[in-house]
Structure 1
Amino acid sequence: MNIEVVGVIGAGVMGSGLAQNLAQTGHQVILVDVSEKILEEAKEKIKNNLRFQKMLQKSDKLDNIENLLQKIKISTDYQSLESAEFVIENVTEKWEIKNRVYEKIDVICPPVTVFAANTSAIPITRIASATKRAAQVIGMHFMNPVPMKPVVETIRGYHTSEETIEIAKKLLAQMGKEAIIVNDSPGFVSNRVLMLTINEAIFLLQDQVASASDVDRIFKTCFGHKMGPLETADLIGLDTILFSIEVLYESFNDSKYRPCSLLKKMVDAGLYGCKSGKGFYNYN
């Protein structure tokens, strides 16, 4: 049985990318956020992304962009998720916010609905504890930009059932993606390594060892990375980077995860990277 209706909570960069990907693979999407303005901006961004994609590749699926957009229903009301067979949550990386979201949707969604947390660092077992369906909670760490990334780090919580894992793998296959299953741990595999790398790169900048462009150029030219760690930080969002590294610091009580003071200062100044127009680089 195909999964047809998918709820996506959070219409930021990741949420809008997920909504686009799901619509393109034939799913009905319920995109939920707290603000009509955010939702309208997300839908406009999806439209522009589809137009750009159409310019780059010839595909019958992109011939009618309006038909794809009609597959995405936007709402500020969580009650709209009552028909969702699968829900992917993408809200801010703060436990108190995520906790409230899961308590809310646990009551609204049908008992069979699977919840997937698209989180960078918060343990899936902790998220599952906010629900009465711990066996149906799984982590799905999508990478940005979602429609272009073929693999998803998929996290098994302590209570996650094999049935839930198979359902998640099936949805990802429908989306044209492969799941790599890992066990639950703060930061999982990708961000336990990546956040340390980015944080240390920011320390290099703070200590005036090298410029941002030279730090990134070394990683791109010497190691063949498509993006350097500071470019990656700007793409993810420095606020998200800080939230994630703070979760790791709190979870492991290990000084190696101590957030760089320059990172904190930039977040306080509203320099979040691409989404604010300025981070380690200018985007205006």
Structure 2
Amino acid sequence: MQIGVVGGGRMGAGIAQVFAAVGAEVTVVESDTIAAKAALTRVETGLRRAAERGKLDGTPTQVLSRIDFVTEIPSLPSRADLVVEAVPEAPELKVRVLTAVELAVSTTTVVATNTSSLSVAELGAVLVHPDRFLGMHFFNPVPVSKLVEIVLGPNTSDAVRDKALEWVRLLGKADVVVRDSPGFATSRLGVMLGLEAIRMLEEGVADAEAIDRAMELGYGHPMGPLRSTDLVGLDVRLAIAEYLERTLGDRFAPPRLLRDKVERGELGRKSGQGFYPWN
């Protein structure tokens, strides 16, 4: 099985890792050699952690040998079974990437977007073959998350849906299938919970740790909404909230505290500071 991943950030690196771990040959596309080296480091770190947890068949070196890092989309294998776009949540960027991917691969290749909120229909509208396009929304961190949200566009064929479900199960993950709608099922609910938690912190209802512990211990959430926002990235959560506000209304309006933190560069774990300090 040949898999392409465009974008080697935290999500893309995780997607590459899990497919390589089940035996796929994976090609990761990044924007330049520096970014490609950073993606390689992310995958190496992920594989080492998986091995330490006893969750890796083979050695990290053996799995890594199945991943190639390139700097141009035309370097994707033309006969890839699946290419997953995993670039930042900017519609214009995703459209450019998806258009280039379609030109680089055969008409039998399934093309997927890892978007967590953007319209699959709008992204797929630029493609010549939207029937082989769908959303495959992975969750962070990909190697340990249990879920992939399959988002069907208006033109996604049944055969492509079935292939996506097969791949999700091959990875040992569970699936939910949803129709294309702003925020789908997971981001829409997750962002709403996160925004309300930020408002509570802003209003002084409780501190961040108390809010998170209330959801973890009271409702069985594995991670509280503020720590989860730090993991996702405050800038990512802000962008999704702004999109949902435009498409679904004022109930998704981002709190002032979220905007202020993003303006200060407090983006969560990736910047070292969010609602919590990260070392």
In which range does the TM-score fall when normalised by the shorter chain? over 0.9
TM-score scaled to structure 1, two decimals?
Answer: 0.94
Q: Deviations over 1:216-271 (max 9, x none)?
A: 1111121121111000000111111011111111112x110111121111112211
State how far apart, in whole Å, the 2-side matches of 1:12 and 1:128 are.
Answer: 22
Residue of structure 2 in register with 1:49 after alignment: 46
Q: Shift of the alpha carbon at 1:58?
A: 7.0
Q: Which residue of 1 aligns with 2:233?
A: 237
Which amino acid counterpart does residue 277 of structure 1 have in structure 2?
G
Decide whether the 8 Å contact of 2:83 with 2:112 is kept in 1: yes
2:25 aligns with one of 12, 28, 53: 28
Do the aligned partners of residues 58 and 20 (structure 1) sit closer, same or farther apart at CA in structure 2, a change above 3 Å counting? closer
Q: Following TM superposition, by how much is the alpha carbon of 1:12 offset from its aligned partner in structure 2, in angstroms?
A: 0.9
Structure 2 spans left out of the alignment, 5+ residues: none
1:38 paired residue among 21, 35, 40: 35
Residue 66 (structure 2) pairs with residue 67 (structure 1): no
- Which deviations, in whole Å up to 9, do the C-alpha atoms of 1:37-70 show, x marking residues without a partner? 22212222222222222222175x23x3212111
Establish whether residue 179 from structure 1 lines up as the match of residue 175 from structure 2.
Answer: yes
Tell me, yes or no, if structure 1 residue 262 matches structure 2 residue 257. yes
Report how far residue 179 of structure 1 moved.
2.4
Aligned residues: 278
**Number of the residue aligned with 2:7:** 10
Q: Deviations over 1:118-177 (max 9, x none)?
A: 111001111111211111111111111212223211011111110110111122222222
Could you say what secondary structure the match of 1:208 adopts?
Answer: coil
1:282 is matched with which residue? 277
- Equivalent residue number for residue 101 of structure 2: 105
Letter aligned with residue 47 of structure 1: E
1:91-120, CA deviations, whole angstroms, 9 ceiling, x for partnerless residues? Answer: 111111111111211211111111111111
Pairwise CA RMSD: 1.4
* 8 Å CA contact 2:2, 2:77 repeated in 1: no
3-state SS in 2 of match to 1:148? coil
Confirm whether residue 136 of structure 1 aligns to residue 132 of structure 2.
Answer: yes
Distance 1:58 1:88 in 2: 23
> C-alpha offsets along residues 56-88 of structure 1, whole Å, 9 cap, x if unaligned?
2175x23x3212111110011111114222111
Q: Match of 2:276, SS? A: coil
Q: 1:171-194, CA deviations, whole angstroms, 9 ceiling, x for partnerless residues?
A: 222222232211110100011111
CA distance in 1, matches of 2:251, 2:165: 34
Name the CA distance, whole Å, in 1 between partners of 2:29 and 2:222. Answer: 32
Using a 3 Å threshold, how does the CA distance of structure 1 residues 73 and 255 change in structure 2: closer, same or farther? same
Return the letter of the residue paired with 1:231: R
* TM-score where L is the length of structure 2: 0.96
Residue 210 (structure 2) pairs with residue 218 (structure 1): no
Partners in 2 of 1:211 and 1:151 — Cα distance?
30
- Which whole-Å CA distance do the structure 1 matches of 2:100 and 2:123 have between them? 13
1:251 corresponds to which of 247, 251, 265: 247
Identity %: 35
> Is contact 2:112-2:136 (8 Å) kept?
yes
SS in 2 for 1:147: coil
